[in-house]
Amino acid sequence: MEKATFAGGCFWCMVKPFDQWDGIHKVTSGYMGGTVENPTYEQVKTGNTGHYEVVQIEFDNSIFPYEKLLEIFWMQIDPTDAGGQFHDRGDQYRTAIFYHSEEQRLLAEESKKKLEESKKFHKPIVTEIKEADIFYFAEDYHQDYYKKEPEHYKEDRKVSGRDVFIDTHWK
């Protein structure tokens, strides 16, 4: 299994899009990129730890290639928003692709360049491409939130503006 790590705003909304495909072994919510060891959600949500909310995906590249994960990632976010995602504001909700290998870095950069060249967005693409570092698991109640709290999950997506954005820009 390989790993892919993406920051796309609130991690609750980033699990389900990846969690439904053959070749995806596991999607875990967590934190990456900050300065505090073993951060808690309460610490990360302040925006002061430097962490991003992320999903880490364990996948079989021979069944579900990394390039396809990148396609799905881009279609879940507003890559032009440097201040967070939709109604979730703050550094912890910024977007980023955390690469685990040189090949992933190159593929991520290529996919970002293609998106920029597509002119799909009128503003610059600000999603960062960063080397993966320590992944910290989010608390259990955040794992598979869309399954545990389906009504709250649907309502959160609806009021966030994420679904309207996706429908407008990607459908």
Query: Rounded to an integer, what distance in angstroms lies between the CA atom of residue 171 and that of residue 152?
Result: 24
Domain residue ranges in the chain? 2-170
Interval 77-93: pLDDT, tens: 999 999 999 999 999 99
Query: Rounded to an integer, what distance in angstroms lies between the CA atom of residue 49 and that of residue 145?
Result: 23
Enumerate the active-site residues: 10
Architecture per CATH, 2-170: 2-Layer Sandwich (3.30)
Q: How far is CA 126 from the centre of its chain?
A: 14
Interval 128-148: pLDDT, tens: 999 999 999 999 999 999 999
pLDDT for the residue 134: 98
Spatial contact of 140 and 103, defined as CB atoms under 8 Å apart? no
